[in-house]
Amino acid sequence: MTPKTLEKLEQLSPADFEATLNDATTLHESGKLIEAHHLYKELLAQQPKHARLLFLKAVVLYQMDRVDEALPFIEQAVALDALNPDILNAYGLIRRNMRQFDEAKDIFEQIIKLRPQSYEALNNLGLVYGDQYDWEKASEYFKKALELSPDEPEVMLNLAHALRDNNQAEEGLVYYKKLHKMFPDNARHAFNVAIVLHGLGRFDEAIEYLEKVLEINPDNINAKHLLEATRGDKGATEAPESYIADLFDAYAKDFDMHLAALEYQVPKMLAARIPFAIAPKGKPGSWNMLDLGCGTGACGLYFNEYCARMVGVDLSPKMIEKSKAHGVYDDLHTQGIEGFYDESDELFDLIFATDVLVYVGALESFMEESAKHLKPGGLLAVSTELCTPEEGDFILRNSGRFAQSDDYMLKLAKANGLMKMVNADITVRMGHHEPIPGKLYIFKK
């Protein structure tokens, strides 16, 4: 693109206008969004009621994550050409991005009436129902879209995800496997198959697909970790941060419902075990609290009344976004525990970590740094999954999660000047319909 094209355009003849518009769409299609946007803006100054140009301007703003700015342009385009399915589709996507789901559904349904063979509109309608956690309805529309375009990979993947999220993992697996067969060199599709097989407890088959992932991409550390866990390999000391972030990004949308299905009550149980007798110095309502692995922020709600300040840390950007919605955290950090501890010299009355140590096997550094970041009299409240002394200090389960022995936890606490206040046997959650034994600990500095 020459500098000339970024200059203000003089009044163009109809032929030159169309030629410049074609140049702009070529830039747009090649990913040069800023340059395309500049030309659209200059062309609109000459023809402000050009429906296609208004549509393209809205699309480029949408792709630049300037959705609020895109809305008035797409609304003008719709007003000028209300029966154009392409314009309506962009309008629906913008409404969906703005989480105006009812409006988006109305728009996609209108497209389907205008163009019954539009698999794109059916697919987009399915996505909106998925946004609202109606996986049954989402699956229905994805299936209709596939009837019209049986080999469309995006629709097939959306259907597989919806079936999985609707507790129809076996049916979803059929589509994940189809995608892997269509794209045998795509590590993502092989990994999706492996994840579902692993979740179904079909570990031998999961190993086969994890090995395929690593044949395609030997540097896939997420697949390496899950393969180590599924094989029962020794030597792993923690899960990769990318594995944890990807896992919880995928769960973020319906994480609280997922925990409810697993009968996960650990934050509530820990909160109930912090009686005033062992509380940090200072009256409740004055504490400085650190929530490690804060997730969607549900744990913070149990302690809101105790705290003057609450800090949340999580590896998953999508979890952090969910945490913001609760409005209880004064500060949120998207990073790992080690990174936060390295950068912070703040001291806390209460450090809280539930369902976090299951992704860290060796806890020497965690316990040492946690103790350093506690005020005198402060509490460290954590949960673990439990292994036996015969299994060692810690062990990586085939779930991809670590378990620690009670002896190991008490030894580390003592070494770091932490006094045991609570040591309770619990069921952490359900796994493959079996209770997972664990521990609740509260240590005092």
DSSP string for 374-414: EEEEEEEEEEEEB--GGG-SEEE-TTS-EEE-HHHHHHHHH
Whether 3 shows a pLDDT value over 70: the answer reads no
Please give the C-alpha separations between residue 119 and each of 50, 115, 173, 177, 380, in angstroms, as whole numbers.
27, 9, 22, 22, 53
How far from 237 is each of 111, 227, 314, 371, CA to CA, in Å?
53, 14, 19, 20
Instruction: Note the pLDDT tens digit of each residue in 155-203.
Output: 999 999 999 988 899 999 999 999 999 999 999 999 999 989 988 889 9
CB 342, CB 366: distance < 8 Å: no
Between CA 28 and CA 35, with CA 30 as vertex, the angle to 5 degrees is 45
Residue predicted with more confidence, 326 or 188: 188
To which residue do tokens 């912090």 refer? 274
First-to-final CA distance of the chain: 64
Quickly state the pLDDT bin for 41 (edges 50, 70, 90): very high
User: Coil, helix or strand for 364?
Assistant: helix
pTM: 0.72
Judged against a pLDDT cut of 80, whether residue 1 lies above it is answered with: no
Residue from 87, 90, 4 nearest 39 by CA = 4
Distances (CA, A) of 1 to 7, 57, 61: 12, 19, 20
Predicted confidence at residue 64, as pLDDT, reads: 93
Residue range 259-285: mean pLDDT, rounded:
63
C-alpha count within 13 angstroms, C-beta hemisphere, residue 315: 19
pLDDT at 433: 64
Contact between 429 and 436 under an 8 Å Cβ cutoff? The reply is yes
Q: What is the pLDDT of residue 222?
A: 83
Q: What is the per-residue pLDDT for 386?
A: 93
Under DSSP, the state recorded for 83 is: T
Comparing 253 with 344, the larger pLDDT belongs to 344
Nearest-angstrom CA–CA distance, 54 and 62: 12
Q: Where are the alpha helices (DSSP H) in 183-313?
A: 187-199, 203-216, 221-231, 241-251, 255-261, 266-272, 298-303
Nearest to 198 by CA among 186, 183, 213: 213
**What are the start-end ranges of the E strands in 66-138?**
none
Contacts of residue 353, defined as CB under 8 A and 6 or more positions apart, other chains included, come to: 291, 292, 293, 337, 380, 381, 382, 383
* pLDDT per position as a tens digit, 367-383: 999 999 999 999 999 99
88-102, 182-196, 202-216, 310-324: the lowest-pLDDT one: 310-324
Q: pLDDT (tens digit, 9 = 90+) per residue, 298-316?
A: 778 888 888 889 999 988 8
